[in-house]
Amino acid sequence: MTRWRISVDKSLCIGSAMCVAIAADRFVLDERQRSGPVEAEIDPDELVRDAAASCPSEAIGLVDADTGQRIDLD
């Protein structure tokens, strides 16, 4: 079973809260309104793919946890 690894580059994050609005269980904002994953490794979840594709600052990285290959965001 494929697993996905989520990362958020906090230096790119602009605090739009797009990801927490799309996938409330998967992302959480810190006190500076910067996002991070609730769990870094998850089973594939289309809402996480949507959040990564919708991020206005392309701050969300999504890769196959085993191979490190980028997950297609389309």
Q: Which residues bind other proteins (CB under 8 A)?
A: 12, 14-18, 20-22, 24, 32-33, 50, 53-58, 74
- For the chain, helix, strand, coil in percent to 5 are 20, 25, 55
Indicate the residue among 17 and 40 with the shorter CB distance to other proteins. 17
Q: How far is the CB of 58 from other proteins (least distance, A)?
A: 5
Indicate the residue among 42 and 59 with the shorter CB distance to other proteins. 59
Give dist(CA 24, CA 7) in Å, integer: 16
Residue 18 CB neighbours (<10 A): 21
